[in-house]
């Protein structure tokens, strides 16, 4: 007791010192505000009991006080000295003890001024924070008791009562999870409520245990699998320190087994939870160094960094133990630190993320597979969907397909979790078997080992995976990988490709009435699961159309063609098919259009040959048109459908003949953007007769009746461009004058001069008359404007005379030839030398060039010389090519640019665009898609390439249709990718700023199309893909000189 009295005297001296003027410290205020939560002292009391090795603690809350009990070691004198000191704890050198700093207990001063402690050895209270006073009482219990009366300067008893009540109710089962000694915690609030928390520990081995913490009152509990790892302290190696991790175990109602599940809120535990979020999905605990208020764990502290690394190692090592305990499944993998965004570089547990990755990538079998076993990383595979997984999980199919006997499919439940699925796909990069990989590995050895039931499932899978077998199209850049592999099972269990090299079906659905074709095995063909697949891929029962397409039409592509009698039999069979009510007629029509199967007669030579439908005209018998044969009389290039088919075609077959594309009218115009033509007009005009002239007149009027204007068409630059037909008909002498039975151009004719059987009264005829500019329209209007009545009447009389009479009258009038009419050209010269200006003897070449629209003929590839280049195979010469005047700036090597006539440049540029469009349509894409055809859609300047009824790509002249079409002239959309083409002609070789920006932005999807010798027969098209890469090293700043008014062209490209 002398020691106790001596301690009291020391504390009094200490207090007297604090009261001196220069030592005015208010420790009571400091300690009462040590924690943001005044009720935090509850945990400090539990910590002190744990340090005293208590197994049970309890709290009793009264209206005016709180009592706390524990069954730990009774107070010793050193404990009295410690609890009444400031910063002099007995646990200072033992980081394994919780109350290390000696100030935790001082937090009780948030509710009281004088705490009381009752133990078997000492009973005392504490005044002024540090002064102990003995309490005269006989306390012989082994249970240590603390009494905290609600005495505080700033908080009322009710406020303190409510704070403590709330904190006691909030205590949960995890409070005692990581404590070494306390197994039970009780609390009671007066007589109103109470709680009991208990912990039971089942030790598995030295490193792991099962811990169950339960709230007896609430009848809830948690089961944890706890792993620990010893940690050596550099300060004291004799200390028993450890780090721990705890995985929560739950019962799975679906599988009726226990499994490890994630927790949503994982705070770092330093015996008790802190406010630090670990970003983990389980609990971790360690003897971290904390701030005095235990509200922070300094992240840069060397000891704390060591604990982070030790916990990361423990997490990684626990995976193998988890496997041995039977908990290694997708649920467990999902709670591991696998999301890199949660663990960035230098974060607290980044090392845990890295060590788990290393562990899973090791040679150990740690990845759950689909047969309740495990597989190492290198032999792990996953399928992109459940249907493919089902196919590969049967009969060791994965091993057969991959030629790897150790290959295993990972557990499908891995893909229930988004982050885990991404981790396996993107971080671990586990072997992926998707549809394309499966199709690539698929071979005859694999399919031969499969049962019919598997093949039926396989075809069902293919009905949902069209891309694996579909034909190349605008939506698919290439044929599906299976399209050209033998995977269709036949009746004899052999296998065949679905289509031949010409995309014709090689196999048909089973039909017992037809044994000529290869047929799908009957039980597979008749399964309900395979019907959708066969329908989608186009495999059906053999029919007459299949026979025609597969066996008859190919005869007309062979070296030895069928005879006329054989052909008549074939055509008869084909026409009978069209008279039946069957589907797929359109396919047969398309195939017939592409085959020279119809006999055509050249009436001039009398020769019979085979033609495609659109190469033949229909004679009177089939078309009902009595003008065609007169129109084409004597034309050696025109053939008519042979009358050998006289007994085959009926009058009601004319609609079919039209669908097949037989011609019934020489006026042909496929679209408003395409210039119309009159087939055979040159031959007709060279052999003109009154009857032919009349037929031509009737065909032109008929064209207008069919809403075809043969005189104008639309271009990207001009919506009403004059056709060559109109130019020819205006200039050529083809109209008969009934007065002298001679032929004249419209400009030399009055309407009244036309023969009586020429229609001049219908609305369509009046349109034709107006557009052909008859003399009545051109000169009579001018004559009527002459004010001199006598002169006007004479001119009208002159108009009614024929050419010879008019010349004779003029000679008699003046005695010399003032006005000469050239009968060979039928053009009128000067009428009045004072009123008419002299016409130039020749037309200016530039004007002529601007007034023509020229498109080079590209029906053969040799007609257009093509140079293709990309950035990878392009070399640039060191010297620059100039297209300027002769003045040269010696210092810069740059010449002044002289601008050409803007309108001339505009027309030349437009011709260049048309040249490129024609080249792309008739040469470039014709080579890529030889069987495809073009059609105009959505306007005159948009074209779609169609193959087998599907749109492959779309080509559009954008510069005239889109206001924002900056940096390119032509768009091509192919397989969902848009490509941009900028056209440059001889006079324009420098890209604009917008074009250079587009080239830099789009790289390989941007093209420069250079057209040389625009408008000439030797025109050339040069295509440069990715000009930015080709030119950027040559032109550091191609716009510096341009902006200064100088002009520098790009270097020509040399090609290997």
Residues 6+ apart with CB under 8 A from 58: 68, 69, 70, 185, 186, 187, 188
The helix (H) or strand (E) run that includes residue 147 is strand 144-149
Span 728-734, average pLDDT: 92
Query: From CA 511, how far away is CA 534, in angstroms rounded?
Result: 14
884: pLDDT strictly greater than 60: no
340: pLDDT strictly greater than 90: yes
User: In which band, very low, low, confident or very high, does the pLDDT at 877 lie, cut at 50, 70 and 90?
Assistant: very low
- For CA atoms 512, 513, 515, 520, give the dihedral sign: negative
Query: From CA 1005, how far away is CA 745, in angstroms rounded?
Result: 52
Radius of gyration for the chain, computed over Cα atoms and rounded to the nearest angstrom: 50
Question: Which range is least confidently modeled, 10-24, 358-372, 552-566, 899-913?
Answer: 899-913
User: What pLDDT is recorded for position 132?
Assistant: 92
User: What pLDDT is recorded for position 236?
Assistant: 61
User: What pLDDT is recorded for position 690?
Assistant: 92
Q: Please answer whether residues 39 and 166 qualify as being in contact, where contact means their C-beta atoms are separated by less than 8 angstroms.
A: yes
Query: From CA 690, how far away is CA 692, in angstroms rounded?
Result: 5
Higher pLDDT, 838 or 392: 392
Q: Please answer whether residues 827 and 819 qualify as being in contact, where contact means their C-beta atoms are separated by less than 8 angstroms.
A: no
Q: Please answer whether residues 861 and 923 qualify as being in contact, where contact means their C-beta atoms are separated by less than 8 angstroms.
A: yes
User: In which band, very low, low, confident or very high, does the pLDDT at 947 lie, cut at 50, 70 and 90?
Assistant: confident
pLDDT digits (tens, 9 = 90+) for 164-177: 999 999 999 999 99
- The pair phi, psi for residue 828, each rounded to 5°, is -85, 130
Residue for token digits 């059987």? 757
Question: Which range is least confidently modeled, 269-273, 582-586, 787-791?
Answer: 787-791
User: What pLDDT is recorded for position 101?
Assistant: 37
User: In which band, very low, low, confident or very high, does the pLDDT at 249 lie, cut at 50, 70 and 90?
Assistant: very high
In eight-state DSSP terms, residue 614 is G
Span 776-805, average pLDDT: 65
823: pLDDT strictly greater than 80: no
Instruction: Give Cα separations from 145 to 54, 75, 119 (angstroms).
Output: 12, 10, 6
Q: Which two tokens stand for residue 235?
A: 């300060």
Q: Which two tokens stand for residue 248?
A: 């929560």
Tell which residue, 327, 341, 347, 349, has the closest CA to residue 427: 341
User: What pLDDT is recorded for position 27?
Assistant: 58
User: What pLDDT is recorded for position 984?
Assistant: 86
Query: From CA 31, how far away is CA 106, in angstroms rounded?
Result: 6
pTM (two decimals): 0.53
- The pair phi, psi for residue 83, each rounded to 5°, is -70, -20
Span 865-870, average pLDDT: 36
DSSP reduced 3-state for 786? coil
Query: From CA 368, how far away is CA 410, in angstroms rounded?
Result: 6
pLDDT digits (tens, 9 = 90+) for 81-130: 888 887 655 554 444 444 443 467 888 988 999 999 999 999 999 998 88
Query: From CA 619, how far away is CA 629, in angstroms rounded?
Result: 7
User: What pLDDT is recorded for position 830?
Assistant: 34
Higher pLDDT, 473 or 591: 591
Query: From CA 890, how far away is CA 892, in angstroms rounded?
Result: 6
| Helix/strand/coil (H/E/C) assignment for every residue in 310-342 | HHHHHHHHHHHHHHHCCCCCHHHHHHCCCCHHH
Query: From CA 289, how far away is CA 316, in angstroms rounded?
Result: 24
Q: What is the per-residue DSSP string for 4-52?
A: HHHHHHHHHHHHHHHTSGGG---HHHHHHTSSSSGGGHHHHHHHHHHHT
pLDDT digits (tens, 9 = 90+) for 563-609: 999 999 999 988 988 888 777 788 999 999 999 999 999 988 999 99
Residues 6+ apart with CB under 8 A from 1002: 980
Instruction: Give Cα separations from 1035 to 138, 450, 641, 1011, 1042 (angstroms).
Output: 102, 62, 62, 22, 12
Span 138-158, average pLDDT: 92
Q: Which two tokens stand for residue 996?
A: 């250079």
Residues 6+ apart with CB under 8 A from 628: 617, 618, 619, 620, 640, 664, 665, 666
pLDDT digits (tens, 9 = 90+) for 603-628: 889 999 999 999 999 988 887 788 89
Q: Which two tokens stand for residue 943?
A: 């074209």
User: What pLDDT is recorded for position 148?
Assistant: 96
Span 375-391, average pLDDT: 92
User: In which band, very low, low, confident or very high, does the pLDDT at 356 lie, cut at 50, 70 and 90?
Assistant: very high
- The pair phi, psi for residue 788, each rounded to 5°, is -75, 110
Q: Please answer whether residues 604 and 563 qualify as being in contact, where contact means their C-beta atoms are separated by less than 8 angstroms.
A: no
User: What pLDDT is recorded for position 847?
Assistant: 35
Query: Considering the chain, what is the average pLDDT of its residues?
Result: 81
Query: From CA 209, how far away is CA 202, in angstroms rounded?
Result: 6
- The pair phi, psi for residue 108, each rounded to 5°, is -70, -15
User: In which band, very low, low, confident or very high, does the pLDDT at 669 lie, cut at 50, 70 and 90?
Assistant: confident
Query: From CA 720, how far away is CA 660, in angstroms rounded?
Result: 31
User: What pLDDT is recorded for position 808?
Assistant: 62
Q: Which two tokens stand for residue 192?
A: 């109103």
Highest mean pLDDT among 153-157, 158-162, 1044-1048: 158-162
Tell which residue, 553, 469, 544, 484, has the closest CA to residue 508: 544
């Amino acid at each position: 007791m002398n020691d106790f009295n001596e301690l009291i005297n020391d504390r009094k001296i200490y207090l007297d010192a604090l009261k001196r003027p220069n030592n005015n410290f208010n420790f009571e205020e400091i300690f009462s505000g040590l924690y943001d939560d005044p009720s935090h002292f509850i945990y400090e009391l539990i910590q002190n009991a744990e340090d005293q090795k208590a197994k049970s603690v309890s709290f009793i809350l009264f209206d005016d006080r709180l009592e706390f009990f524990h069954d730990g070691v009774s107070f010793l004198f050193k404990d009295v000295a410690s609890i009444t000191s400031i910063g002099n704890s007995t646990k200072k050198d033992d980081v394994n003890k919780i109350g290390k700093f000696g100030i935790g207990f001082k937090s009780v001063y948030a509710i009281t001024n004088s705490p009381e402690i009752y133990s078997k050895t000492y009973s005392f209270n504490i005044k002024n924070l540090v002064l102990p006073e003995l309490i005269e009482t006989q306390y012989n219990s082994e249970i240590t008791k603390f009494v905290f009366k609600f005495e505080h300067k700033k908080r009322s008893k009710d406020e303190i009562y409510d704070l403590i009540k709330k904190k006691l109710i909030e205590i949960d089962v995890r409070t005692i999870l990581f404590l070494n000694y306390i197994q039970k915690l009780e609390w009671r609030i007066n007589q109103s409520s109470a709680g009991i928390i208990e912990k039971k520990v089942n030790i598995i081995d030295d490193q792991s245990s099962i811990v169950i913490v339960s709230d007896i009152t609430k009848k809830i509990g948690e089961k944890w699998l706890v792993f620990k790892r010893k940690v050596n302290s550099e300060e004291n190696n004799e200390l028993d320190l450890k780090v721990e991790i705890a995985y929560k175990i739950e019962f799975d109602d679906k599988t009726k087994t226990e499994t490890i599940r994630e927790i949503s809120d994982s705070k770092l535990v330093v015996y008790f939870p802190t406010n630090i979020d670990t970003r983990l999905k389980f609990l971790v605990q360690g003897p971290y160094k904390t701030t005095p208020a235990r509200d922070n764990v300094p992240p840069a502290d060397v000891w704390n960094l060591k604990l982070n690394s030790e916990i990361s190692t423990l997490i990684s090592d626990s995976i193998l133990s988890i496997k041995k305990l039977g908990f290694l499944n997708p649920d467990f993998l999902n709670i591991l630190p696998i999301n890199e965004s949660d663990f960035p570089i230098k974060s607290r547990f980044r090392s845990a993320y890295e060590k788990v990755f290393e562990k899973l990538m090791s040679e150990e079998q740690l990845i759950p597979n689909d047969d309740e076993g495990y597989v190492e990383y290198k032999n792990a595979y996953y399928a992109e969907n459940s249907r493919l997984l089902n196919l590969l999980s049967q009969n060791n199919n994965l091993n057969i397909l991959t030629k790897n006997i150790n290959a295993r499919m990972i557990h499908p439940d891995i893909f229930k979790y988004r982050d885990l699925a991404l981790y396996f796909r993107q971080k671990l990069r586990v072997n992926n078997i998707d549809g394309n990989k499966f199709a690539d590995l698929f071979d005859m050895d694999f399919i031969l080992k499969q049962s019919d039931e598997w093949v039926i499932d396989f075809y069902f899978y293919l009905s949902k995976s069209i891309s694996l077998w579909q034909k190349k199209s605008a939506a698919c850049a290439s044929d599906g990988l299976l399209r050209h592999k033998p995977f269709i099972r036949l009746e004899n269990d052999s296998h065949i490709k679905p289509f031949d090299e010409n995309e014709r079906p090689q196999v048909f659905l089973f039909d017992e009435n037809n044994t000529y074709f290869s047929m799908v095995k009957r039980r597979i063909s008749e399964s309900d699961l395979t019907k959708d697949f066969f329908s989608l891929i186009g495999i059906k029962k053999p029919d007459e159309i299949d026979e025609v397409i597969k066996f008859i039409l190919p005869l007309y592509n062979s070296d030895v063609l069928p005879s006329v009698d054989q052909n008549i039999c074939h055509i008869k069979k084909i026409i009978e098919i069209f008279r039946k009510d069957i589907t797929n007629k359109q396919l047969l029509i398309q195939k017939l259009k592409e085959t020279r199967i119809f006999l055509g007669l050249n009436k001039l030579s009398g020769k019979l040959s085979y033609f495609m439908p659109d190469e033949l005209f229909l004679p009177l018998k089939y078309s009902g048109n009595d003008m065609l044969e007169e129109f084409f009389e004597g034309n050696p290039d025109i053939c008519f459908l042979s009358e050998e088919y006289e007994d085959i075609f009926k009058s009601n077959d004319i609609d079919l003949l039209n669908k097949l594309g037989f011609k019934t009218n020489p006026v042909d115009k496929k679209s408003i953007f395409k210039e119309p033509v009159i087939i055979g007009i040159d031959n007709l005009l060279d052999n003109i007769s009154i009857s032919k002239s009349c037929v031509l007149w009737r065909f032109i009027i008929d064209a207008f009746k069919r809403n075809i204007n043969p005189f104008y068409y639309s271009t990207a630059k001009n919506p009403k461009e004059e056709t060559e037909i109109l130019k020819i008909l205006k200039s050529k002498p083809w109209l008969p004058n009934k007065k002298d039975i001679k032929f004249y151009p419209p400009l030399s004719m009055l309407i009244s001069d036309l023969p009586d059987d020429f229609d001049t009264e219908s609305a369509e005829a009046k349109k034709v008359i107006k557009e052909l500019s008859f003399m009545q329209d051109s000169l009579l209007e001018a004559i009527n404007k002459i004010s001199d009545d006598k002169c006007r009447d004479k001119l009208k009389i002159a108009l009614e005379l024929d050419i010879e009479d008019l010349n004779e009258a003029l000679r008699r009038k003046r005695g010399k030839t003032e006005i000469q009419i050239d009968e060979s050209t039928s053009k009128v010269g000067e009428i009045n030398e004072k009123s008419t200006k002299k016409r130039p003897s020749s037309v200016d070449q530039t004007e002529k060039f601007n007034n023509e629209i020229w498109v080079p003929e590209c029906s053969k590839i040799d007609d257009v010389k093509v140079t293709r280049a990309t950035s990878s195979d392009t070399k640039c010469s060191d010297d620059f090519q100039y297209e300027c005047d002769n003045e040269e700036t010696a210092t810069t090597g740059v010449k002044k640019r002289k601008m050409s006539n803007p309108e001339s440049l505009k027309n030349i540029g437009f011709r260049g665009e048309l040249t490129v469009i024609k080249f792309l349509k008739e040469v470039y894409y014709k080579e890529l898609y030889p069987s495809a055809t073009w059609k105009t859609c959505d306007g005159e300047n948009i074209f779609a390439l169609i193959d087998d009824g599907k749109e492959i790509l779309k080509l559009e002249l954008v510069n005239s249709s889109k206001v924002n079409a900056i940096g390119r002239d032509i768009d091509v959309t192919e397989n969902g990718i848009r490509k941009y083409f900028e056209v440059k002609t001889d006079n324009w070789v420098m890209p604009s700023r917008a074009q250079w920006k587009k080239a830099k932005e789009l790289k390989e999807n941007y093209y420069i199309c250079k057209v040389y010798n625009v408008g000439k027969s030797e025109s050339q098209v040069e295509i440069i893909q990715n000009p930015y890469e080709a030119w950027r090293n040559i032109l550091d700043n191609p716009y510096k000189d341009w902006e200064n008014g100088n002009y520098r062209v790009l270097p020509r490209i040399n090609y290997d």
